[in-house]
């Protein structure tokens, strides 16, 4: 069996947008430490936001058959709750193929950075992570065509 990149040469360039969301389950004390800025490695949400933007831009380097596209915007938001951090990433481009892989990659990278930055707080006495879990990474919505929505 072989693999190939799909040829999108004949597809028109149109506005595209995808929003992905994911969750990392953490101890309540860890989420509180994130909210209060008490994580030893630094500002968890700022680092995760930066990682998400970088990951969106580098998606074709990570996903072998993904087309490189000119990303025009990436928005990253977080919600902290009882025992979880949720990330939402919206990626925009004017291109001949969609941006859902970029949004999914960005959300995944953000959650991995959260885990990396708080892993010391999440480990049990044997160095394992019995309650830490990344879950439910999914595409929430896609937009194709139409006028671009301007974000502030």
β-sheet bridge partners, residue 20? 89, 139
Alpha-carbon span 31 to 41, nearest angstrom: 14
- Smallest CA-to-CA distance from 122 within 31, 51, 50, 56 is with 31
Q: Is 116 a catalytic residue?
A: yes
Q: Which of 7, 75, 116, 124 is catalytic?
A: 116
Tell me the pLDDT band of 147, cut-offs 50, 70 and 90: low
Percent of the chain residues past pLDDT 90, beyond the cut: 94
State the pLDDT at residue 60.
Answer: 97
Does residue 150 carry a pLDDT above 80? no
CATH (residue range 14-144): 3.30.70.640
Tens digits of residue pLDDT in 86-135: 999 999 999 999 999 999 999 999 999 999 999 999 999 999 999 999 99
Domain boundaries, the chain: 14-144
Tens digits of residue pLDDT in 20-42: 999 999 999 999 999 999 999 99
State the pLDDT at residue 151.
Answer: 53
Alpha-carbon span 24 to 120, nearest angstrom: 15
Does residue 58 carry a pLDDT above 60? yes
């Amino acid at each position: 069996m072989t693999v190939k990149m799909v040829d999108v040469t004949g597809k028109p360039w149109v506005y595209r947008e995808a929003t992905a969301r994911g969750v990392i389950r953490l101890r309540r004390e860890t989420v509180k430490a994130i909210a209060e800025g008490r994580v030893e490695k630094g500002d968890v949400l700022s680092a995760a936001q930066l990682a998400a933007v970088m990951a969106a831009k580098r998606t074709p380097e990570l996903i072998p058959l993904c087309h490189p596209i000119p990303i025009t915007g990436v928005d990253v938001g977080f919600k902290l709750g009882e025992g979880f951090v949720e990330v939402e990433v919206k990626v925009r481009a004017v291109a001949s193929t969609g941006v859902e892989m970029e949004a999914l990659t960005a959300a995944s990278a953000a959650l991995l950075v959260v885990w990396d930055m708080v892993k010391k707080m999440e480990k049990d006495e044997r160095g394992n992570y019995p309650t830490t879990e990344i879950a439910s990474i999914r595409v929430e919505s896609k937009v194709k065509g139409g006028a671009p929505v301007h974000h502030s």
